Amino acid sequence: MTNLSEKHIVLGLSGGIACYKAAELCRALVKAGATVQVVMTEAAAQFMTPVTMQALSNRPVYVSQWDAREPNNMAHINLGREADAILVAPASADFMAKLLHGRADDLLSLMCLARPLDKVPLLLAPAMNREMWAHPATQRNVAQLRADGTHVLEVGQGDQACGEVGDGRMLEPEEILEDLIAFFQPKVLQGRSVLVSAGPTYEPIDPVRGITNLSSGKMGFAIARAAREAGAQVTLVAGPVSLATPRGVQRVNVRSAREMQEAVMAAVPSAQVFVATAAVADWRPDQAADQKIKKDGSGQTPTLRFTENPDILAGVAQSERAQSGALFCVGFAAESHDLLNHAKAKRERKGVPLLVGNIGPATFGQDDNALLLVDAQGAKELPHASKLELARLLVQDIARRLAV
C-alpha cells in the first residue's frame, strides 16, 4: 500500500524555469503509486521536453488541443474525466491569470475549465519571480482562485533562478508530494488543535555526556503528520532527533524532560488533543557537572545519583482542561513484554482515556509497528503496518472519540 496507489494524477506544466523540478515531481508521484498523465503548455515545452516527461510518466504526453490521437479528438474532456486530481506544477503567473478568467486557448487551461468541479480537484503549485508573486494582480488572482475552489499551494522562499531572493519559488517536489498526499486524506480533525510529544529526552551528566534512550521519534512524527493531514493545527514538541518536520506542523525542539514539560504545558491551553509518544527519561542525574568529568588515574569510577523526572502525561491528564473534557489525552506505552497487562495498568495509573501500547525494542528506529489501543472498554489491535498508516488509523480513532 503506497500513499497514492489507485490515484490517477494529471500533471500539468505551464511555462517557467521550475519545469526542471516537474521531472523529479513526476518520478516521485509514480514512486508513490500514482499513474501520471502529463499535459504541457507550449511554453512549458520550451523549458522541459515532452520526451523526458513521457519517459518518466511512461505515457504519451499531450501538448496541443489539436492532438488527434484521441478517437473523439477531445483530449481536454477525456484526460480530465479520468483524473483523481489535476496538479499544475509549475503554475505560472500567466497561467493562473488565465484560469481566473476561464480562458481556454490551450489544452491545459481548456482541460482545467472543462473538468467536473465537484469530482476533479485542481491543485496549483505557483512558481515565479518574487515581484511577480507579490504583485497585487497575482495576489488578487490567487485569492479569487481559492474562492473558486482551486487549491493553491504555498510558494517556497529563497534563491530564485533570476538571482533575486524572496517568495515565489515552486515548492520542492517532495513538499508538493506531501501536500498532495495530505489533500486526499479525510479531514476528520478539521479545526482541531493537536499537541504531540515525540522522541527521546536527553539528560546531561556533564557538558559532553548524557543519558538518553533509543526512541527515534518516528511514531510521534508520523502522528503529527497524520493529524495535520486530517486538518488539525499541530504542535510537535520534539526531543533530540534529526527527523524532518512534517509539512505545516509547528515544531518546538527540546532536550531534557523538564524542557519538554515546559513546552508541553505552554501548548496545553490551546490544545484539544494531547498525544504523548515521547520516551521521556524517567530519571536525570541529580546534578549535571558544569565541566567535563575527568578520569583521575586512580581507576575509581564516578558515582551518579538520580532524581525522578516529572511525569508530563500524568500532569497534563490531571490538569483542569483534561479533567473538564476540553482536552483528550492519549498515552503511549513502550513495553518489552506482557503488553496488554502493562498497558491496562499504565492507562489507569496515568489517568488517561486511551493508552496505545507497543513493544519498544521491536519498533524503536523502525518504519513500521503494531499498536494495541486500550481504553476503559477493552483493547483493540492495529496490526503491523507502516508507522504513517498506523498514525492515520489512530487519528481516525481519536476523531471518532471526539465526535461522541
- Which residues form the catalytic set? 162
Stretch (H or E) spanning 126: strand 122-126
Pick the closer one to ligand CTP by CB: 35 or 309.
Answer: 309
Q: DSSP state, 245?
A: P
Q: How many residues does the chain have?
A: 404
Pick the closer one to ligand CTP by CB: 37 or 358.
Answer: 358
Pick the closer one to ligand CTP by CB: 93 or 334.
Answer: 334
Q: Which residues bind ligand CTP (CB under 6 A)?
A: 197, 257, 276, 278-280, 282, 309, 311-313, 331-334, 346, 350
Q: Residue 8 and residue 29: Cα distance in Å, rounded?
A: 10
Q: Is 6 exposed, middle or buried (0-12, 13-18, 19+ CB in 10 A)?
A: exposed
**Beta carbon of residue 136, minimum distance to ligand CTP (angstroms, whole number):** 48
| Distances in whole angstroms, Cα of residue 390 to Cα of each of 1, 227, 235, 274, 385 | 12, 12, 19, 17, 6
Pick the closer one to ligand CTP by CB: 228 or 346.
Answer: 346
Q: Which of 175, 177, 161 is nearest to 47 (CA)?
A: 161
**Beta carbon of residue 314, minimum distance to ligand CTP (angstroms, whole number):** 7
**Beta carbon of residue 240, minimum distance to ligand CTP (angstroms, whole number):** 15
Q: Which of 317, 308, 382 is nearest to 349 (CA)?
A: 317
Q: In what order do the strands lie in the sheet with 35-40?
A: 35-40, 8-13, 85-91, 122-126, 151-152
**Beta carbon of residue 357, minimum distance to ligand CTP (angstroms, whole number):** 9
**Beta carbon of residue 238, minimum distance to ligand CTP (angstroms, whole number):** 12
How many other C-beta atoms can be found within 10 angstroms of the C-beta atom of residue 397?
19
Pick the closer one to ligand CTP by CB: 201 or 272.
Answer: 201
Mark 106-133 as b/e (b = at least 16 C-beta within 10 Å). Answer: bbbbbbbbbbeeeebbbbbbbbbbbebb
